[in-house]
Structure 1
């Protein structure tokens, strides 16, 4: 770089070097000068970067880069998902198409719809209201409320992917940084402020950042599509609550023949029905999340596909890594245990969606003229999914779509006709009572199969009772051997083998 003052293009920028010196000091501490010397020896002059027009014209951009680099290299903890990155990306994606603050009118209309829905639903189910807060949320607020659940859902798969990244890139990362450092680790002088980091640790931080970007992208995109807190069938709110996202409901209603008020009330019915189920069936939330986690932990990574996708990219480029991981890196092999877990998960998701579908329709029909059409529209929407759900499938390894929700709705309607809504809702009392795939295949035969199971269980109980009864009878006083008194031998009968000849 020229220092001739008559050459404005080559004159060092007064702001640039001080900014990069700040960066060096923040990352390398007292060893910043040594770090600069080693970087120049490798042909990378950090001071030359200060001539970038972007940094000269936009100091805020430099500060953003500085904060991101510091956050990445000084990240602590063993989580495979960088929740800070997920949060930042999700907020950016959520507001990309606009996210104005809700007006008082929007909040009032949404909360009133939820209150009316509670009253109508009382006639369709014995489960009481969920309680908790009643809210209207902007897209950004929806992200804030649900992002912790997304991070938890993605962690099992993220851990597997980060391990795979570490195995593939551990020898590639140091050279890609242009530092010529061996795979044994970075010199202490190069990361003095954060402590010496070896390539594996850097890769794990990069992997966590990439997964954070993917989670943020999925959650941010979903925030522009969802209507409340329960749209995907898995509870995303940790506490009992009912919420609506008015901006998305308005957008959805534009393409429908039904009035927006009807659309809002129908969606509010679905939200409060989900909330009642997840609140009062206390085992359900943990059961669903446990099945997701169990399935995700068994997912295998296609190492060949992953290595191929990483071959032509810079592993320090988090956006390139994100694209590589979105190209299908999950192995196709599924163990019998994986298949069984996936079947149970899909069945429970269908049962949840079918129950909500049935009680919502029963509550809406007396009040909403377009209830039948709205029910079919929501069914198709849930069955088809959307771009955000597809993105979520790439980061969790499965699609959270209720493939058999229509069959499940028919089953719940059949149970209601036979025994009433109270007994129908009582099926949720314990996971062992839930219908299975055979019941979805043949809803009309549910009670016959249940009676058969009950009869078989009764036979087993009867057999066990007889066994225990016989065992107790075999140890009564009449059958007990006569004890010797004062050293005498017990009396023996003529046929007793102990009788002397």
Structure 2
């Protein structure tokens, strides 16, 4: 079931345990066939997926990307089918986007020292989003899919790998098409729900591009008691703030991508639960009742392979970084709009609800990249940046982005005072500096020894009546 990314807040039917699910469960349901359990889908669903895959097999087998871990040609075609016919961007919508971005950019100058990104301003429809973000999705998806293929082969018994031998290439091509099919469905879904080029704090738009999707914004505006132009300006402000970060914090994008690559490098498949289930099914026994009982128990089990990463810490670092990005955006947008924007409070609350009910980075990663991680603690990050601003000011706060080692850690999100104390310890003693400056000024204005002696002589001449 797809997650909702719009302000209509559809429920995805998951409970709290699902939301907190991490590496112990299969985070690759978006890629592979689903065999029972929560990953759902009966045998008919599997055949339906397989039929869709075979329908495009001729062209895909012969495409330039057929040997890749993900068949992106199939992904693109599948996504376009999902998107359907799109209206082109009107001149009026394009002008509205440009004016909203420029206005928001001007207002942001009061809330941050990071300068404007000075990039391109573009209005996209869903198909534009798909075409322009595909390059970054490839960077994010490919390392995970490649390592997943290796992990699948490594998990096979040696005898099975030997038997696979000549069929290995076809096996890889089928995997590649299956990954492409599932990726296409996920990207098609996101394309009709995304509002900007970096909607979830993920920099998937080309560098230097501030992209807004006015058609998708118009759809969600109908559910809000806010004028459409104000919704557009608010969303433009969020996107413009992110672009300032992505432009002037050059390590930020690469740090996010490298976290995905690090996670992928440690992927491994755990099939111990399958082996345990197989041991419980003793087909050699002559007890039909016991066999039937074992089969019934297996019917309710999730028999899909469980994927873990030895580098699970990479996802924790990614969670923290995404939280810090969106928390900073929350603060600077609020500070820049609150005195100028009648519906700022309503829009901020709507955005938080959107994030809590599907419009978030972790949902996009699980849906498209195949990595599940906990919800970034954006509210805690916003609170931390607010306290930092109150303690050391806007300029010192924004200089924290100069180097990744300067950023708050996950522990600081829980204990902002510790991070603020560290900033204050590093900050110069302004009171001491003021006293030094006064002393230097006094010394500069004090007459020299020669001036004092000359002055003394002149006074003596005046006292005794000597004419000059």
TM over 0.5: yes
With over 3 angstroms needed to count, the CA separation of the structure-2 counterparts of 1:305 and 1:265, relative to structure 1, is farther
With over 3 angstroms needed to count, the CA separation of the structure-2 counterparts of 1:250 and 1:93, relative to structure 1, is same
CA deviations over 1:202-248 (Å, ceiling 9, x no partner): 11111111111222211111111111011121210232110100111
Ranges in structure 1 where 5+ consecutive residues have no aligned partner? 1-63, 174-181, 186-197, 309-325, 456-501
Which 10-residue stretch deviates more, 242-251 or 290-299? 290-299
Of structures 1 and 2, the one with the larger relative CO (CA 8 A, separation 6+) is 2
**Structure 2 counterpart of 1:105:** 92
CA deviations over 1:107-126 (Å, ceiling 9, x no partner): 11122111111111111111
**Structure 2 counterpart of 1:254:** 222
Cα distance, 1:394 vs. partner? Answer: 5.3
Q: Is the 8 A contact 1:165 1:207 kept in 2?
A: no
Matches of residues 233-382 of structure 1 in structure 2 within 5 Å? 233-303=201-271, 329-332=305-308, 335=310, 337-339=311-313, 341-382=314-355
CA deviations over 1:419-447 (Å, ceiling 9, x no partner): 22111111000001001123211223422
Q: Which of 430, 441, 465 is the equivalent residue of 2:403?
A: 430
CA deviations over 1:220-277 (Å, ceiling 9, x no partner): 1111111101112121023211010011101111111111111110000000000110
With over 3 angstroms needed to count, the CA separation of the structure-2 counterparts of 1:244 and 1:350, relative to structure 1, is same
Q: Is it true that 1:229 corresponds to 2:192 in the alignment?
A: no
Task: Provide the C-alpha distance between the structure 2 equivalents of 1:401 and 1:227, rounded to a whole number of angstroms.
Answer: 23
With over 3 angstroms needed to count, the CA separation of the structure-2 counterparts of 1:67 and 1:223, relative to structure 1, is closer
**Structure 2 counterpart of 1:130:** 117
Cα distance, 1:402 vs. partner? Answer: 5.0
Which 10-residue stretch deviates more, 360-369 or 76-85? 76-85
With over 3 angstroms needed to count, the CA separation of the structure-2 counterparts of 1:350 and 1:76, relative to structure 1, is closer
Cα distance, 1:283 vs. partner? Answer: 0.7
Task: Provide the C-alpha distance between the structure 1 equivalents of 2:267 and 2:79, rounded to a whole number of angstroms.
Answer: 25
With over 3 angstroms needed to count, the CA separation of the structure-2 counterparts of 1:291 and 1:76, relative to structure 1, is closer
Q: Is the 8 A contact 1:158 1:395 kept in 2?
A: no
Q: Is it true that 1:92 corresponds to 2:92 in the alignment?
A: no
Cα distance, 1:351 vs. partner? Answer: 0.4
Cα distance, 1:357 vs. partner? Answer: 0.5
Which secondary structure state, in structure 1, belongs to the residue aligned with residue 312 of structure 2?
helix
With over 3 angstroms needed to count, the CA separation of the structure-2 counterparts of 1:392 and 1:288, relative to structure 1, is closer
CA RMSD across the alignment: 3.3
**Structure 1 counterpart of 2:357:** 384
Which secondary structure state, in structure 2, belongs to the residue aligned with residue 135 of structure 1?
strand
Task: Provide the C-alpha distance between the structure 1 equivalents of 2:167 and 2:159, rounded to a whole number of angstroms.
Answer: 9
Cα distance, 1:76 vs. partner? Answer: 5.5
Which secondary structure state, in structure 2, belongs to the residue aligned with residue 301 of structure 1?
strand
Task: Provide the C-alpha distance between the structure 1 equivalents of 2:342 and 2:382, rounded to a whole number of angstroms.
Answer: 21
User: What is the TM-score with the length of structure 2 in the denominator?
Assistant: 0.68
Which secondary structure state, in structure 2, belongs to the residue aligned with residue 161 of structure 1?
helix
Matches of residues 147-186 of structure 1 in structure 2 within 5 Å? 147-166=134-153, 183=163
**Structure 1 counterpart of 2:104:** 117
Ranges in structure 2 where 5+ consecutive residues have no aligned partner? 1-52, 277-301, 429-468
Task: Provide the C-alpha distance between the structure 2 equivalents of 1:358 and 1:69, rounded to a whole number of angstroms.
Answer: 51
Q: Which of 26, 44, 61 is the equivalent residue of 1:72?
A: 61
Cα distance, 1:170 vs. partner? Answer: 11
Question: Which is greater in Rg?
Answer: 1
With over 3 angstroms needed to count, the CA separation of the structure-2 counterparts of 1:247 and 1:407, relative to structure 1, is same
Number of aligned residue pairs: 352
Cα distance, 1:71 vs. partner? Answer: 2.9
User: What is the TM-score with the length of structure 1 in the denominator?
Assistant: 0.63
Q: Is the 8 A contact 1:151 1:215 kept in 2?
A: no
Cα distance, 1:297 vs. partner? Answer: 2.3
Cα distance, 1:413 vs. partner? Answer: 1.1
Q: Is the 8 A contact 1:415 1:424 kept in 2?
A: yes
Q: Is the 8 A contact 1:80 1:207 kept in 2?
A: yes
**Structure 1 counterpart of 2:70:** 81
Cα distance, 1:299 vs. partner? Answer: 2.7
Which secondary structure state, in structure 1, belongs to the residue aligned with residue 268 of structure 2?
coil
**Structure 2 counterpart of 1:444:** 417
Which secondary structure state, in structure 2, belongs to the residue aligned with residue 367 of structure 1?
coil
Q: Is the 8 A contact 1:156 1:293 kept in 2?
A: yes
Q: Is the 8 A contact 1:132 1:242 kept in 2?
A: yes
**Structure 1 counterpart of 2:392:** 419
With over 3 angstroms needed to count, the CA separation of the structure-2 counterparts of 1:76 and 1:142, relative to structure 1, is closer
With over 3 angstroms needed to count, the CA separation of the structure-2 counterparts of 1:366 and 1:342, relative to structure 1, is same
With over 3 angstroms needed to count, the CA separation of the structure-2 counterparts of 1:327 and 1:274, relative to structure 1, is farther
Q: Is the 8 A contact 1:354 1:405 kept in 2?
A: yes
